[in-house]
Homo-oligomer: A and B are copies of this chain.
Amino acid sequence: MPLEHAVLAFLNLQPLSGYDLQKAFEESINHFWSTTQSHIYKVLHDLEENGLAAAQIVEQDGRPDRKVYQITPDGQAELQLWMKSPQALEDVREAWLIQLFFAHNCTNEKITALLQNRIEQAREKIALYQGQVQAGLHKKADELGVERMRLLWQFTLDYGIARYQFEIAWLEQLLARVNALPSLPQSLNTSHAGD
């Protein structure tokens, strides 16, 4: 469960509440591991149950109580173990490839439209990563002032940018190949409701 370990990794830097963690995720690793508030609270609950984190209620005046979690020795051991363990390479799993695979009865124009939409989405992602996300990471890194950390964070961002750039390049190459596709069989083109 990667989210559990991401939470442990954050707690290993400093004690945090669910609310803090939500912001930390948003500002730090959202570009490669998005999550939700409710999932974080659930994971914290589970971590406590398993003795990997310990909670402590902190009262505040004029504000709701905070429930601050600390990593336990068991939690540190678990984290250390996980950090070393090779993760399985993710399988390709993309819904648009289903569309492409079964596009036999679609016109080349319709296929092209799908690809162009995808290129557009990838461009937006890159703009986001190079803009807001990059700025956010820079800011956080400057606060901490640890060069080694800054570079590691940058690697994760660069990965995302490179990935979406790859996506665009590959799709553009595919556009040409789609245009060269033999045309639809007439019977299917006119008579079928088909795909």
Contact = CB atoms under 8 A, between A and B. Distances in A.
A165 to B, nearest CB: 9
A94 interface: yes
Query: Interface centre among A33, A79, A110, A122, by most B CB within 10 Å?
Result: A33
A130 interface: no
A135 interface: no
Contacts of A183: 148
A43 interface: no
A187 B141 CA distance: 20
B84 A110 contact: yes
Contact of A156 (B97, B121, B182): B97
Interface stretch (A24-32, A52-60, A62-70): A24-32
A102 B9 contact: yes
Interface of A: 2, 5-6, 9, 12, 28-29, 31-34, 73, 76-77, 79-80, 82-84, 86-104, 106, 110, 113-114, 117-118, 121-122, 125, 146-149, 151-153, 155-156, 159-160, 162-163, 166-167, 170, 174, 177-178, 181-185, 193-195
The 5 closest A-B pairs by CB, nearest first: A89-B121, A9-B102, A2-B95, A86-B117, A32-B97
